[in-house]
Structure 1
């Protein structure tokens, strides 16, 4: 997304809010590592990775002034916030939710993009779990929300998607079928498939046609 926005002439700033993110495949302008890192927390406070991430988010929440000062240097940009992947932070813990609320008070107009590996949709049980997790995240975060099935270029190795979902011998559809019906009937959760390789090819093709 950073590359895409840059190619269409938009000013973009990537903000890393994941204190465990060490090898970033993008140009980062604001990095939470300047404030706190997960390895330091785990070593100094003797916490595990889950407890350490929660502590880091609570620490960020307690240091809004640091975040505000860093973001102010890039006024007029589109901001991409890279957040931690720990699911508890989006389902029942409040620190990241409070960070988003504070950003809204600073007049940021936010939308959440929730990435889910597409292979979860090849197994009925995992698919139901993803539906419930996505719905819980949407309700808790309280932002405009896009659920994305990522790594679609790898889905073919799991066989035909429809067959995998319909022929789960051990899956009890009677127990969870009604839940799926409610989610579908009221359009509570939907997913957008994403194959970043295809997207890049289409964008490069568009650029080539414009240059031609």
Structure 2
């Protein structure tokens, strides 16, 4: 049996994961390509395209929080533990998905699920084994507005790297919502964020990331939060994070504007390369597209 192909869409809350999934589905449909949309966010509320498979039909975060008196994070972990105990809910529908499809899995925004606990890695390994044999690529979204706050950007980059190491999947990192920073960052400067450059920590003294010796500062009480966040300890911490990211050289970003078809197409091409989608596809004969359109019209009739 041939492999199936999928992408698992991750990232912090507000990064635009569901918007990206919707844009990806739209792009695939416009290019006459099949997709199977899976929602694994038990707290999701609205979708542009209704999921083909929705975890909320099995369990919802609202019900878990109400019945078990758990908070949002504990409730999410419970939901995924419950899913792992009832994997037939996920695996049986995916068994019928053929290799022509791209399986799109929309995930929650709690990054602890990808960086701290082994639940999602266990789920991904299950999907990659046996009859499913899904060749998976992780798409990790980070909101482009993070580049305005460089400490926040490097923290987000570190979380992306942590997810890469934890998930053990081919990985595509994406700076989403690029339309929000259009005209705010010079192209030359933007390149330093696309390929995270530790020199960013030295380029903006006003950010508080660069430590400069000032008489009397080092003698102030280190227990004072203001001193810690503006002094040598804070600067050293940020440099250590920057060096860690630089030494691993794992993280780089693609730019994404969900309203731009070319931008979506570029990201999709990287996902296809990571999953080796095109290598397994049958070559099409001239006129195949016309036959597909005729079949679709017949079905609608």
- Fold conserved (TM > 0.5)? yes
Rate the CA distance shift 1:40–1:118 in 2: closer, same or farther, 3 A. Answer: same
* Deviation per residue, 1:158-184 (Å, 9 max, x gap): x33649x53242113752335434534
Which residue in 2 is equivalent to 1:134?
A: 160
Deviation at 1:24, TM superposition (A): 1.4
Alignment partner of 2:31 out of 2, 5, 8: 8
Deviation at 1:7, TM superposition (A): 1.8
Deviation at 1:120, TM superposition (A): 0.8
* Structure 1 contact 124–168 (Cα < 8 Å) conserved: no
Larger radius of gyration: 2
Which residue in 2 is equivalent to 1:45?
A: 68
Which residue in 2 is equivalent to 1:160?
A: 185
* Of 43-52 and 72-81, the range deviating more from structure 2: 72-81
Q: Does 1:58 align with 2:95?
A: no
* Structure 1 contact 90–97 (Cα < 8 Å) conserved: yes
**Structure 2 SS opposite 1:54:** helix
Alignment partner of 2:109 out of 64, 69, 85: 85
**Which blocks of at least 5 consecutive residues in structure 1 are unaligned?**
204-212
Deviation at 1:186, TM superposition (A): 4.7
* Structure 2 contact 158–241 (Cα < 8 Å) conserved: no
Aligned residue runs from structure 1 range 1-212, under 5 A: 1-76=24-99, 77-105=101-129, 106-156=132-182, 159-160=184-185, 162=189, 166-169=203-206, 170-172=208-210, 175=236, 176-177=238-239, 179-184=241-246, 186-199=248-261
* Structure 2 contact 137–170 (Cα < 8 Å) conserved: yes
* Deviation per residue, 1:47-88 (Å, 9 max, x gap): 111111111111111111121112223333220000111010
Deviation at 1:198, TM superposition (A): 2.4
Equivalents in 1 of 2:148, 2:160: separation in Å?
Answer: 17
Deviation at 1:27, TM superposition (A): 2.9
Which residue in 2 is equivalent to 1:210?
A: none
Equivalents in 2 of 1:190, 1:152: separation in Å?
Answer: 15
* Deviation per residue, 1:114-154 (Å, 9 max, x gap): 01111111111101101211111100011000110000001
* Of 31-40 and 165-174, the range deviating more from structure 2: 165-174
Q: TM-score normalized by structure 2?
A: 0.62
Equivalents in 2 of 1:107, 1:180: separation in Å?
Answer: 37
Rate the CA distance shift 1:171–1:44 in 2: closer, same or farther, 3 A. Answer: same
Q: TM-score normalized by structure 1?
A: 0.86
* Structure 1 contact 30–71 (Cα < 8 Å) conserved: no
**Bigger relative CO (Cα 8 Å, ≥ 6 apart):** 2
